[in-house]
Structure 1
Amino acid sequence: MVSTLRDVAKHAGVSVATVSRYVNRSGNVRAQTAGRIRQAIAELGFRPNVVGRSLKTATTRSLGVVIPSLSNPVFADAVSGIGQTARAEGYNLMFMATDYDRDAETQTVGALLDYRIDGLILTVSDPGESPVLDLLERTGTPYILIYNQFSLAARPSVTVDNVAAGHDAAEALIGLGHRRLGMISGSFGASDRARARRDGFVRAARDAALAEPVVREVDFLTMNVDAILDDVFKDRSRAPSALFCSNDLLAISLIGALRRRGVRVPDDVSVIGFDGIAVGSHQHPTLTTVVQPSREMGQTAARQLLDCLNGGNAPTGAVLPHILRLGESAGPAGKPDPAALQEPDQTVQRRTAQ
């Protein structure tokens, strides 16, 4: 239930006019009274309506979309799916990016709530401990997560099974004969998806009785892989023969960094990415990757949220299938043989969570 000026006034023990003066800064309010109003606003999760303040029950027929990055095409695919579905129902989008910053999540969602968006589709760093999601639930704002791992049933998300996908990536490399595995990931603190992919990848290595994979983190925005390659390859005899990256942009950056060092992909090191962005299939070598159906994920999230806004059921989320697509960047261990690989547009696995 969205709190109103009247609710804040009652909670603070002051008049509606006094709260209005404080919120709109249209008159003086004593410091002690202002303190009570601030406390009431915080406790009730009240958001001032900057669009049509006098129309308390109006809807804006707009959805807020909060994504981690504008530079990664995988999020653009999801926003495209959301926008197509929303426009068909007469809704507009207001979207913002957080640059993988947890504090920015609160700021961006707060700004969207100020504009009285009707509901939110968003990706957060950690749905398990998220002040943003706590705020949305406290204010009764309908929302659905996208990309976030689905382990928290009370917080619906449209995603893939990231643990299973990471497991599949490791199994594919093991099937090509690789026994020394590694993973290069964006910051685990900024992405529950990256953590889940790591968990599945490491688990598969353990299941195959292999040594623990080398795991290194880089910043999602700078993706400075050069800084960690000295450490990963300081002993070439023990270095990984195959690397899994937590997203495709990182995998593409890694391939470039390896090439600058004279390390051949896949002859010396195989590389697998995650996301399935289009540019991966147009580079050389073409990228082996776990493909998630981002556009379909956006469409599914939007349909569930719009159904809720139109009086239907609350969003429940969904786990969609992922595909492991082989390209030229992953090859047999120890004996490069491009003919052994399938064509880049062929798929070898398709899985959903059970």
Structure 2
Amino acid sequence: MADLLTVAKLAGVSRATAARAFSSPELVRPATREKIFSAAQQLAFRPNKVAQQLRTQATHMIGVMVPSLNNPVFAEQLQAMEVAARACGYSLIVTTSDYSSSREGDIVEEMLRQRVDGLVLTVANAEQSEVLAKLRAETIPCLLVYNPPGSSGFPSIGVDNLAAGADATRYLIDKGHARIGMVAGPLLQSDRAQQRYQGYCQAMRSAGLAPRPLIEMDRHTQADLTSLAPALTGPDALSAVICTNDLLAISLMGELQRAGISVPGDLSVMGFDGIAMGEHIYPSLSTIAQPRADIGRTAVHTLLAMIRGEACSPAPLPHALRQGESAGVPASSKSTLGTS
């Protein structure tokens, strides 16, 4: 069986350079790295990962915790993270919390036992997270994704949720809506939704409109029309709603149309995330799009910089408003336009 020295000779490099290509590939020039990997493939050489870990005290593994894999937002983030990590010689250990703050501590403790080199976490509420409080006493690099940075003490990768919530609200106001509501899952399980609601309230007040109380659903991505129904009747009935994620918006649109409520004829609906599914349904979903792949790639590169001992204070990534067919002018405006 070939050894590292044989690989180095075939690639035309020193043994130290060959060893570095396998242990810290980001430190080796791409062309040199490819020659070494090609030689290893020709010789059927496999580096001894266990020996490397014992020697360097590094596993080249990143622990990642997301709320769910059912939501394409997290799946797209993870796919981008996996590609970026693999290009730098790292692999991911992925776990899900099912939006349960009580599970987060056990999950992180297990990843620490596996000696991951760093953590990328999406927690329920970064400001009140018990697991983050414990991690402040650890030396392991830890990065948040999607959570607002706030005063948690950890760097965070994501968009400005407050500004994005305000942009979604202003978009509906510009279309002529004044009776706008916001729909979310359990609010205490998502600090992102809390900030989006704050942005909605700010935009409503800036326009001289009264913000409505948040309408909470029992689940983050599944709508229950009975919770919304009281706000859809009477003289002050909503003409538009903003959902705090796309899956919730798509679920709500289905419930509305099964109940004979037209979207956007009777009620305009906006989402938040920008998942591809929203473009393929009818009516297509108006939404705030997050750069999910960029968030994943940036998370990996930022964490690796933290592992190298660099100080990181990432700025929010840009969001974009994606216009769709699910948000139109309110019915009262249509009537006015028709008689003018």
The TM-score normalised by the length of structure 2 is 0.79
The answer to whether residue 321 in structure 2 is matched with residue 324 in structure 1 is yes
Whether the 8 Å contact between 1:275 and 1:290 is mirrored in structure 2 is: yes
Distance 1:224 1:270 in 2: 15
After superposition, where does 1:1-354 map in structure 2 within 5 Å? 55=54, 58-152=57-151, 154-221=153-220, 223-233=222-232, 235-309=233-307, 311-334=308-331
Gaps of 5+ in 2: 1-49, 335-340
Of 284-293 and 181-190, more deviation after overlay is shown by: 181-190
Whether the 8 Å contact between 2:127 and 2:152 is mirrored in structure 1 is: no
Q: How far did 1:174 drift?
A: 0.4
Distance 2:80 2:136 in 1: 25
Distance 2:139 2:250 in 1: 41
Distance 1:230 1:79 in 2: 36
- The one-letter code of the counterpart of 1:333 is P
Partner of 1:16: none
Whether the 8 Å contact between 1:144 and 1:317 is mirrored in structure 2 is: no
Aligned CA distance change for structure 1 residues 137 and 57 (closer, same or farther; 3 Å)? farther
Of 76-85 and 189-198, more deviation after overlay is shown by: 76-85
1:257-305 alpha-carbon deviations (Å, 9 max, x no partner): 1101111000111000000000000000000000010110111111011
Q: How far did 1:82 drift?
A: 1.1
1:238-257 alpha-carbon deviations (Å, 9 max, x no partner): 21100000000000011011
- The one-letter code of the counterpart of 2:244 is S
- The one-letter code of the counterpart of 1:143 is C
Q: How far did 1:203 drift?
A: 1.1
Q: How many residues are matched?
A: 285
Q: How far did 1:153 drift?
A: 7.1
Of 136-145 and 209-218, more deviation after overlay is shown by: 209-218
Gaps of 5+ in 1: 1-50, 338-354
1:288-325 alpha-carbon deviations (Å, 9 max, x no partner): 0000101101111110111222x241332330000011
Q: How far did 1:186 drift?
A: 1.5
Distance 1:192 1:308 in 2: 24
Distance 1:152 1:227 in 2: 37
Distance 2:265 2:315 in 1: 39
- The one-letter code of the counterpart of 2:70 is S
- The one-letter code of the counterpart of 1:206 is R
Q: How far did 1:67 drift?
A: 0.4
1:103-158 alpha-carbon deviations (Å, 9 max, x no partner): 11111111111111110111111111212112222121101100011333732100
Aligned CA distance change for structure 1 residues 312 and 222 (closer, same or farther; 3 Å)? closer
1:218-251 alpha-carbon deviations (Å, 9 max, x no partner): 1335624223023222x24321100000000000
Aligned CA distance change for structure 1 residues 65 and 336 (closer, same or farther; 3 Å)? farther
Whether the 8 Å contact between 1:145 and 1:156 is mirrored in structure 2 is: yes
Aligned CA distance change for structure 1 residues 65 and 215 (closer, same or farther; 3 Å)? same
Q: How far did 1:175 drift?
A: 0.3
Distance 1:123 1:327 in 2: 29
1:68-100 alpha-carbon deviations (Å, 9 max, x no partner): 111100011111121111101110100001010
Partner of 1:340: none
The TM-score normalised by the length of structure 1 is 0.76
SS at match of 1:318: coil
- The one-letter code of the counterpart of 2:91 is N
Higher helix share: 2
Identity of aligned residues (%): 44
Of 99-108 and 134-143, more deviation after overlay is shown by: 134-143
Runs (4 or more) in structure 1 with deviation over 3 Å come to: 54-57
- The one-letter code of the counterpart of 1:188 is L
Q: How far did 1:335 drift?
A: 6.1
Whether the 8 Å contact between 1:144 and 1:301 is mirrored in structure 2 is: yes
SS at match of 2:326: coil
